[in-house]
Amino acid sequence: MWNDKIIPTMYGDLPTLTAPGIWDLFTLAKTSFTIRSLTNDSDELDVGHRKLVHAWGAEARFRFVSSKSARGYTGIYESGSDCVIGRLSMATKPTKTNSVPALALKFFISGHKSENLQIMNSTSGQKSHNFFEMPFSNIIPPPDSFAKRLIQNIFRKAAVAFGAKDPDPTHLTVEHLAKILVDGTSVVTPKSPYRLIFKPTMAAGALMKDATVESDFRTNLARYPVGQVMYDVYALDEGESADDLPASKIVGKLIPTTKIVASSYGDEKLNFQHNMEK
């Protein structure tokens, strides 16, 4: 995927960032369209589909390096992974006062479909344009505006139609990463955290501390050093507070092994399945 699809389609000139239009919102409102974010386990979008949110982003190859104190969690939490593609994106076009960054990860498994993870800080976004200003998680706060609550209800309807055990779109599950090893072996007795927190390192935060709406986030991300830890990954069990993140709760580190690049394949084809337990 990296060598044959992403690299050959790197942009020469970055396309202009745009926000979803009114017809995009009508399309999102169709359960038959939105449910595919949950049911499509392919690495590519359906033919004829396109990203209506998180439409613009950039990709890199990553390593997930498991901590020696992985707290007994199994699967990828235990083994780590050297074959990960991540997409760093914005939910919509940034404004002078707001940006909504997010990260999607695709863990490649031998002889098996990829396992995917979607994380962000909130749908409300942040005042800063520093992509690494805030931590990301699979569990985020409820939306704080009518428009975002409306979109949340659209995704909730899709989750109900999907048969999700918990149809709350602000809570994606992470159990699937505990159920399989990177060599394709299924874990007999999986143990998973309830929540993951991806906390950007101080070095990552410093890279974009002066970012503004005028400086394209994709251009800024392209400066990220290969091999420099981007996120410390914390794991929490149900009931544990995200306000307390001691080093003992670190289960791994996320490290880019290539430059971060923007590509038409990443924007137009690359698919990351949203995970909800049935």
Q: What is the DSSP letter of 6?
A: I
Is residue 68 pLDDT above 90, yes or no? Answer: no
Pick 18 or 148 by higher pLDDT: 18
pLDDT classification of 70: cutoffs 50, 70, 90: low
pLDDT score of 237 more than 90? yes
The fraction of the chain above a pLDDT of 90, given in percent, is: 79
Separation of alpha carbons 121 and 193, rounded Å: 18
Do residues 251 and 231 touch, judged by C-beta distance below 8 A?
no
Query: How big, in percent rounded to 5, are the helix, strand and coil portions of the chain?
Result: 25, 25, 50
Q: What is the mean pLDDT of the chain?
A: 93
CA 108 from chain centre, in angstroms, equals 15
97, HSE (Cβ side, Cα atoms, 13 Å): 1
Name the amino acid, one letter, at 184. Answer: G
pLDDT digits over 170-191, tens only?
999 999 999 999 999 999 999 9
Return the pLDDT at 128.
Answer: 95
| pLDDT value of position 232 | 97
Cα torsion 4, 9, 10, 16: sign:
negative
Contact 227, 256 (CB under 8 A): yes
Q: What is the structure's pLDDT at 48?
A: 86
C-beta neighbour count of 120 within 10 angstroms: 23
For the ranges 19-33, 45-59, 114-128, 170-184, the lowest mean pLDDT is seen at: 19-33
- What is the rounded distance in angstroms from the CA atom of residue 105 to the CA atom of residue 84? 7
Q: Where are the domains of the chain?
A: 2-240+247-268
18 contacts: CB under 8 Å, gap ≥ 6 = 55, 56, 93
